[in-house]
Structure 1
Amino acid sequence: MNKLAVTLFTALILAGCNTSKHIPDTDNTDNLNNGNTTPETASSKPNILLIISDDQGLDASAQYNYSLDLPNTPTLDSIAQNGIIFDNMWTTPACATSRAQILTGKHGIHTGVNSVPASLSLTEQSIQSYLKSQAATQDYQTGFFGKWHLSPADEAARPNQFGVDYYAGSLTNLSSYTDWTLTVNGEQTQQTQYHTQKITDLAINWIKQQPADTPLV
C-alpha cells in the first residue's frame, strides 16, 4: 500500500476547547463543493482512513489532558503523534449529524441533516464522490463500513449513490448486536455474528482485496 494518511475523528459532543495551540477556524462551509481545492497528483495520492468513534468523550481520549485516569491507547497515540490533534473543534451533538459533516466537509448547519433520524440529500457531494469527480483522483477505491443512518432504511443502495464503491454495514441503529441486518451494496442479509467483529472482518477483507498500487479512501 501507499503511505497511509490517517485522520482520527472523535465524532462526539464537543463544545469546543480552548488551548494555547489550535488549528485556525475557517468559515468555508462548502469545502468539497467549491471546486477550489487542488486534488493530490497521481504520484502522491495517499490512502485516506476516516475513523468515527461514536460517544467517546475528550476525557476518554489519552491525547487530551481532561482526565486523571486516561486510557492506555498506544495505537491511537501513535496515530495522533504522526497526525494532527484538533484543539479547537465544533461539531453537532449526534452521530448522524456529525457523520454528515465529515462526509461533506460542511458545517453541520449546512448539511441538511440536523436531527436523528434524517436523510442526506443526494445533491450533497461526499468526500468519495468528490475524489471520483476529479481526473487526478478518480482511481480511488472507496469503502464505507459500519452504521450509515443518513437515509431511510428502505433505501438500501443510498450509500453507493454518494460515490462509495463498497458499503457494508447497518443502515440504521441496532437493537441487537447479534441479530441485525447487514447491507452490502444494497443487498441485505440477517446476521447473528457479533456486529463489530463482522464489520471489522469485512473492512479488512476489502482492503486486502485491493491492488497494492490502488489508493483507498
Structure 2
Amino acid sequence: MRREMILPTLLVTFVLLSLSSARPPHIVLIVADDLGWNDVGWHNPQIYTPNLDKMAQNGVILNSSYVQPICTPTRNSLMTGFYPYHTGLQHFVILDDIPGYIPSNFTTLPQKLKQLGYSTHMVGKWHLGYCNWKYTPTYRGFDSFMGYYNGREGYYNHKEGTGYDFRLNEDVHYPTHGEYSAHTFAKRAIDILNSVDPQKESLFLYLPFQSVHEPLEVPEKYENIYSHIQNKERRTYCGMVSAMDEAVGNITTVLRERGFMDNLLLVFTSDNGGNFQYGANNLPLRGNKNTLWEGGTKGAAFVYSETLLKKTNYENTEMMHAVDLFPTLLHVAGGIPDPGIDGMNMWPTISENKSSPRTEFIYNIDEIDKNAAIRVGDYKLIEGSPGQSNDWYPLPTREVDVQQEDSGDSFSADTEYQLFDIKNDPTEHFDISEKYPDVVDRLKKRLEEYKKSLVPAHVPPPDPKANPKYYNGTWSPGWC
C-alpha cells in the first residue's frame, strides 16, 4: 500500500470503530401529573421553574404535543405506543379496587429497551394496573421500581383511602418519615444515577412524578415563593410546581456531574391538562383535565439534549401525540417498534424541525361516555360532550376560594358535533360546524373509520378482594 493511502485508511478504520463502539444514548422521561398549560415558566413567567425553563429554552419546546385527557390513558400511550381505545383503557382511570391493566400482549417501552441492552428504572406513579404481579412495573420491563401503584395519595404519608401505597421493587417501602415525595423521588433517581456507569451502560429512567396532582401539599418554603398570591389553593399548587422543578434540578445536576449529559436525551411532558378545582390553570386554553378541549389534552412539554439535537432553542409547532414518544425514543435507542402501533417516529421533526409525518390523531374514543374527538390538519371535530368543564377558567383571586363549582357552562348537551379551526382559533372560541358542514362530514367519516378498530373499554366492577385489610393495610397485588 502506498504511503499516501495509509493515513486515510487508518482514519476511516478509526471512525468505523468509534461508531461501532458508541453506546445508545441515555434516555430520561419525566412526566408531571395534572400540570396546567399556564403553570410552567416558559408559558407563564410568574411561575418559578428555573431548571425546567433552562432546558426548555435551550432545547426544543413542543407547542403542539398532545396527551390524553386523564392519567391512565396517557401513561398507556407512553408505555405502549397505542391509543387507549386500542388497549381497552380509554374510559376514565384505573381506580384502587378496579382490576384494570395494560393487557399482557402489549410490549412496553422498557421491555423493548431492555432488548437493546438498556438498564431500565422507574421512580414515581404507575397507575397502569397492579391487581396481579404480572401487571406491575418490575414485571413489565423495569429493572427497579420505587413509587406507588394507584393514581393519588398523600405526599408525606403515602396513603390512599384505607391503604398504604409505596413500594421499592415488590416490597412495601417506608421512606424517611415526614419526607416530601418529590424529594424522595429525586433521592432515588440520584441513587440510580450513581449506580450506573454512563460510559458502559445505557440508561432509561422513567420519572412520573406525583407532583402536582392533588392533594395540595408542599413544604412551606416553596409556598412562600408565592406569598403574593392571595388564594391558598393556587399558592400551594404553585409551590408544588416549584418543588418539582427543584427536584428535577437536583437530578440534572448529577446527570451532568457523572457525565450522562454527553450522550443523553431528556423528555418532559404533562400527562393531561391541569385541574382548576385544585389550583391549576390552563389559560388561554379552554377546558380542564378530563375534557376533550385543548386545555385537557395539550401537554406542556419539551425535549432537551446537549449533543443529539441538530436544531435547538426553538418552539416546535408540528403535530405530535403521546403515542409517538414510544417509536421516537425507540428510534433514538437504535430499535424498531413492532408493526401496527399507533405512534410515529418524530425524531426528524423534533431534532431538525422537519415537517411532522402526522397529519391527524385521535383525542379519544369513549363508547361508554359516548364522546370522541379527532384532529385532521387544522380542524378538530368533537362528537358528544367534551366533558364537564367547558369554559376558560381564570386564576382565582379571592384569599379563600373553596374548590370552584364546575358549572359546565358554554356547552349545550344537545350539541352533537362541534368543529374548530385550531390553527386560527387555538382557544376554541368559535364552533364553525354550521359554516363548514362539508368539513364536519369529512371528519365524521374519518372518525368512523377509526372506530372500526375500537377495543371495548375494560372497566370491571370494584373487587372487594382488593381491600387493604387483607394485605396488612397496603394496596397490594394478588387479587385478580
Above 0.5 in TM-score? yes
Deviates more, 1:42-51 or 1:147-156: 147-156
Distance 1:61 1:194 in 2: 21
AA at the equivalent of 1:215: S
Which residue number corresponds to residue 61 of structure 1? Answer: 40
The structural deviation recorded for 1:142 is 0.6
Give the match's secondary structure for 2:189.
Answer: helix
Which 5+ residue runs of structure 1 have no aligned equivalent? Answer: 1-39
1:7-26 equivalent positions in 2, closer than 5 A: none
Per-residue CA deviations over 1:184-212 (Å, capped at 9, x if unaligned) read 22111344433222222111111111123
Per-residue CA deviations over 1:55-103 (Å, capped at 9, x if unaligned) read 1111112333xx5x54232221222234332222222111221111112
Which residue number corresponds to residue 166 of structure 1? Answer: 144
1:87-126 equivalent positions in 2, closer than 5 A: 87-114=63-90, 115-117=92-94, 118-126=100-108
Distance 1:41 1:96 in 2: 39
Give the match's secondary structure for 1:142.
Answer: strand
Match of 1:49 among 8, 28, 32: 28
Does the alignment pair 1:215 with 2:194?
no
Q: For residues 108 and 85 of structure 1, do their structure 2 counterparts lie closer, same or farther at Cα, with a shift above 3 Å needed?
A: farther
Distance 1:174 1:87 in 2: 27
Does the alignment pair 1:196 with 2:182?
yes
AA at the equivalent of 1:116: V
Deviates more, 1:189-198 or 1:204-213: 189-198
Does the alignment pair 1:176 with 2:163?
no
Give the match's secondary structure for 2:28.
Answer: strand
AA at the equivalent of 1:216: L
Which 5+ residue runs of structure 2 have no aligned equivalent? Answer: 1-18, 95-99, 159-164, 205-480
Distance 1:125 1:94 in 2: 22
Q: Over aligned residues, Cα RMSD in angstroms?
A: 2.4
Match of 2:52 among 53, 73, 76: 76
Contact 1:145 1:199 survives alignment (8 Å): yes
Q: Which structure: greater helix fraction?
A: 2
Give the match's secondary structure for 2:203.
Answer: coil
Contact 2:129 2:135 survives alignment (8 Å): no
TM-score normalised by L of structure 1? 0.69
Task: State, as a whole percentage, how many aligned pairs show the same letter.
Answer: 26
Which residue number corresponds to residue 16 of structure 1? Answer: none
AA at the equivalent of 1:166: S
Q: For residues 55 and 163 of structure 1, do their structure 2 counterparts lie closer, same or farther at Cα, with a shift above 3 Å needed?
A: same
Give the match's secondary structure for 2:106.
Answer: coil
Q: For residues 168 and 157 of structure 1, do their structure 2 counterparts lie closer, same or farther at Cα, with a shift above 3 Å needed?
A: farther
Rg comparison, structure with higher value? 2
Distance 2:131 2:154 in 1: 16
Give the match's secondary structure for 2:74.
Answer: helix
Distance 1:154 1:199 in 2: 24
Distance 2:191 2:54 in 1: 24
The structural deviation recorded for 1:156 is 8.1
Distance 1:71 1:41 in 2: 44
| Number of equivalent positions | 171
Distance 2:29 2:153 in 1: 25
Q: Structure with the greater relative contact order (CA < 8 A, sep ≥ 6): 1 or 2? A: 2
